[in-house]
A and B are shown apart, each in its own frame.
Chain A
Amino acid sequence: MQRETRIANFVLGALSALSLLLLSLPLSTPVRSFKAATGYLLDPLAYHGEAGYARLAGAPERTRRLLQADIENEALRAELRQGQWVKTTVEALSLENERLRRSLALKAPGSRSPAWAHVMERDPVHWYRSLVVDAGADRGVSLNDPVLGPRGGQLVAVGRVVDVREKTAIVLLLTDEGASVASYLSSGTLEGLVQGQDGPRLRMNYLNAEVQLSTGDSAYTSPTSATFPPDVLIGRVARVNPRDPFLTFQSVEIEPAADASSLQELMILRAKAPEGEAKPPAYVPPPAPQHAAAPEPAPAEVAVSTAAAKPRRRKAAPVETPAAPAPALDPEAAR
């Protein structure tokens, strides 16, 4: 105990002397140096402590801003998704508008009353057979009405109506195996019967066996067609089939002008417009395709086409359209 007291007294004396020295000579060089050294050692404590405290003190605010940023991020993401949907809608409408503009510039052939319809549905299994449009009996669509489609600034043959419902109708495409239409080739007076093959191409049969055929010719609907108005483009000859010595005619493969997979709007040439709808405008003769003489009648086109129609709900006699020159229709009136 005595030793501890002595040591304590000694330490007290030393430290007190040192303290009093520091207090007595605050401006002396040794004291100032000692103070500077002490400050050099201990000041970082407060400096770094303050920096650390500032970091810790800023943490709630930063957390709040982070949460706020997250909330804003979610809101902006939702807005962006909405914007993308709006953009997609606008693009779709723009494309539709473009298609409709092009379609409105077209001239509808024939004396019939045209009506535009949207493609609602396609046969998922048999892509080349039929499709459903959103115009039916309520808009004056009737059985065997010819259906045309826009392609490159003109109307081309697509098919005909085989089933009419209240607000929809089924269109049998030309590519269906049971579809056929009397037609002629633009290079001459050759008449034939274009028939579907349940595939992307058509087949034109009953062409004169003695004539030289070539690819690239255009096939148009014949004036003898019972369904279509004359001079409507069907497609182009893609391949001339080899001659069969057992047959008395030639055949070619036709690449259809209307691509069934890309059709969006169709023009149905109705026998007559429903009451209250604007009548077709005055007749304007369209530019006639190049064929020199009157075509020969196509064999059994009417019989084949009506038999292939197989109406599902009600049957009607095929509408015999006059082979009159095609009048042009005002697109606005057509709508």
Chain B
Amino acid sequence: MISALRGLILFVLAMLGQWWWNTHFSYWGAAPQFLLALTVLIAARRGPVAGMLIGFGWGLYLDVARAELFGASALVLTLAAYFVGVARRQIDLRAVGPLAATTFLFTYAAFLGHGLLGLVFTKSFESPGWMPLLLTPVLNAVAVTVAAVVWDARGER
């Protein structure tokens, strides 16, 4: 019960942190995608199922703010969690370095996924812009590193 409540609080706090940073600290559209980074982290530490369920919820939250492509972020985060679950069978994602590298790559994958979904459903490739393309993967890698350090420091499995 306490664990579920704590999970719910973290779920809400993560969305709040994403909104807060994106709204007030975004630099030319470049801001860390906390929800993607945390989805990767959860999928790496708790398995793909937990990652997909949580990522889907967070994706819906991201989609609510969009005018089009409702469900795109949910699908992208679900797929990200699934493929992290696949990747962790081959790579030791408990280490911070591989985790950061995976997040870095998955950020580009997410950009690509959003672009393709836009291309399929709205006939236009959604480009994030140069600044997010350059900075956001790095920021996500940093964010997942910090989150992993905190996770490990708290003794979470």
The residues of A with any CB-CB pair to B shorter than 8 Å are 4, 7-8, 11-12, 15-16, 18-24, 26, 31, 35, 38-39, 42-43, 45-46, 49-50, 53
Contacts and interface: CB of A to CB of B under 8 A. Distances in A.
B9 interface: no
Nearest to A39: B64
Interface of B: 12, 15-16, 19-20, 23-24, 47-49, 52-53, 56, 59-61, 63-65, 68-72, 74-75, 78-79, 82, 85, 117, 121
B65 A46 contact: yes
Nearest to A10: B49
25 contacts: A8-B49, A8-B85, A12-B48, A15-B56, A15-B74, A16-B78, A16-B79, A19-B59, A19-B71, A20-B71, A21-B71, A23-B69, A23-B72, A26-B68, A26-B69, A26-B70, A35-B64, A38-B61, A38-B63, A46-B19, A49-B19, A49-B20, A53-B20, A53-B23, A53-B24
Q: Give the interface centre of B70, B71, B85 by most chain A CB atoms within 10 Å.
A: B71
Given A15-B52, A16-B75, A53-B24, A42 B121 contact: no
A39 B69 CA distance: 14
Contact of A20 (B24, B52, B56, B75): B75
Contacts of A39: 64
Contacts of A4: 47-49
Chain B: interface secondary structure? helix
B117 to A, nearest CB: 7
Q: Give the interface centre of A15, A39, A45, A53 by most chain B CB atoms within 10 Å.
A: A15
A28 to B, nearest CB: 11
A46 B74 CA distance: 18
B48 A8 contact: yes
Contacts of B79: 12, 16
